[in-house]
A and B are shown apart, each in its own frame.
Chain A
């Protein structure tokens, strides 16, 4: 028998990893700007984004109008700020819908009986096989084009991806020894799902959510561009892009301002997703 009073090795390093990848910082900054613009627009915009000013139509950037005005003389910057609101709102609701439905379905598919897993998988295939844009067009044909229809359509289209990501992650977690250990402690299946499976797939879900957010922004812009999403009186980046179409050669600025906003927001959320994955996935930590 060895000396039982011997200390059990060096004291563990409780400080942990505190480094952050560059992609995460840039992603945070870009998404932060979008969210900030949206929040500020509630209390202050340079001008009323709906104010029509016939005297100052199609003006270039100036001290008065930082990003110029559109064909009705409305302030472009104010419209971009209020448009950010729509963008963030659509993203949050659409991704929220996908997560709230997709994640439980994925966990059920992984932990439930085999036929349930198969059913979830096949239903997911069915939705995935159906183009999201077509779904949105169908929904707005039936219920009329609105921001809500767009959000629901984008949300539904995202469900199978979340269900699939969650299911495959959960299957891996369920094979792990600590789930076996938890079962050997007598923990029930629902408790295992909440306390062991969900926390261990949450990083996957967060990463997927940030990517889905970027896709939702793009989809909303596309739907508004097609006139199926946000109604004309509400500023939206996609709709601004669409309205710029007829003036593309007169005032190209009207196309690239909302275009750049969309591109930067999408880039921001994608970088955020990449950075979060690097930060949260312990297997990638070694390589940095």
Chain B
């Protein structure tokens, strides 16, 4: 988010729409080398479609405009053949559901090796198989030499997610996208997987885009954060800044509803009134207007971005005044 000189990922004015519905509008995102950025928001706010756009995996029936640059390469409008060369080598992804992210009919070792053989980052099958064992060892899986011959159903969810992580890191990507990588896991395994993620990214000096709705995880893992609602980024900045002094009312509500801000008197969380509208049902002007307790007539107009262009800032007509949340 900060003013990075030579960013790994630079998304500018990314707008995605189906024939009738706008899914994403004017999304800006910058991630520098070794930087970890959290993308937070409720379900349906456009987090996952953003990650798919960066991977070039958008479904056929949507149109994307704007710019997604990975290093020096513009990804929007790039033919599939070229995108395939980037995917898995320069940018890799860890998915939410480890139970379904592995092919049930392929041995673990083959799946890890495949990632390297596609991009010829290992000279031979044997070399890729050896490297697969190393990678599985690096994600602390027990007995990797035997594990390469196992099938996914023989592993637990946490173990599978570590295999997925090993696959994602196999080609030392410059950018790792994690789409709610710990949501489906037991709490006890979550921390281990998070630690492995951070360590894997740090070792490679890779950038990370961490998509989640768990604010505590973002506070734990990321340095920068972007808050998404209704297909727009409503607030962005350093985690410390945004979580301690949220300016946008949605961020404020989100924090109040998270376990980072348990009311010390009642021990209860404050929920945001209402629920996320379906795609295309967001109000004109400020997208959060329909659920905001501070909304006025002024909010019928779209709030401008306050702060650094493409950098830290917020889009709200009635921002919170640097108040520290209780």
Contacts and interface: CB of A to CB of B under 8 A. Distances in A.
B143 A11 contact: yes
A200 B103 contact: yes
A11 B155 CA distance: 8
A8 B164 contact: no
A122 interface: no
Nearest to A198: B105
B220 to A, nearest CB: 9
Interface string B68-107: 0000000000000001111111001101110011111110
Contacts of B83: 186
A180 B192 contact: no
Contacts of B102: 178, 181
A162 to B, nearest CB: 19
B192 A6 contact: yes
A178 B103 contact: yes
Contacts of A14: 146-147, 149-150, 154
B122 to A, nearest CB: 14
Interface in B135-168: 139-143, 146-147, 149-151, 153-156, 158-159, 162, 164, 167
B115 A200 contact: no
Given A14-B149, A199-B106, A184 B88 contact: yes
B199 interface: yes
A177 interface: yes
A65 B189 CA distance: 72
B179 to A, nearest CB: 10
B191 interface: yes
Interface in B89-137: 89, 92-93, 95-97, 100-106, 114-115, 118-119
B93 A199 contact: no
Nearest to A196: B103
Interface in A1-45: 1-2, 4-14, 16
Interface of B: 55, 57, 83-89, 92-93, 95-97, 100-106, 114-115, 118-119, 139-143, 146-147, 149-151, 153-156, 158-159, 162, 164, 167, 189, 191-192, 195-196, 199
Contacts of A66: none
B87 A178 contact: no
B110 to A, nearest CB: 9
A1 B202 CA distance: 14
B65 to A, nearest CB: 22
B158 A181 contact: no
A62 to B, nearest CB: 53
Contacts of B149: 14
A183 B115 CA distance: 10
Nearest to A11: B142
Q: Which of A8, A184, A188 has the most CB of B within 10 A?
A: A184
Nearest to A13: B154
Contacts of A202: 105
A8 B140 contact: yes
A200 B88 contact: no
Contacts of B199: 4
Interface string A162-201: 0000000000000011101111111110010001100110
Contacts of B162: 8
Contacts of A180: 57, 95, 101
Contacts of B87: 183-186
A96 to B, nearest CB: 22
A4 B101 contact: no
B101 A185 contact: no
A54 interface: no
Contacts of A199: 103, 105-106
B100 A176 contact: yes
B95 A195 contact: no
Contacts of B156: 9-10, 12
Nearest to B83: A186
A282 interface: yes
Interface string A141-171: 0000000000000000000000000000000
A1 B106 CA distance: 33
Given A177-B96, A191-B118, 10 more contacts: A6-B192, A8-B139, A8-B140, A12-B150, A176-B100, A177-B95, A181-B93, A188-B84, A195-B106, A282-B153
Contact of A16 (B93, B154, B158): B154
A12 B154 contact: yes
A185 B118 contact: yes
11 contacts: A1-B195, A4-B140, A4-B192, A4-B199, A9-B142, A11-B143, A180-B57, A184-B57, A184-B92, A185-B118, A200-B105
Contacts of A11: 142-143
A281 to B, nearest CB: 11
A180 B57 CA distance: 8
| Residue of A180, A199, A282 with most partner-chain B CB within 10 A | A180
Contacts of A16: 151, 154
B92 A185 contact: yes
Residue from the set B97, B118, B139 with the largest chain A CB neighbour count within 10 Å: B118
Given A2-B195, A188-B84, A195 B141 contact: no
Nearest to B51: A184
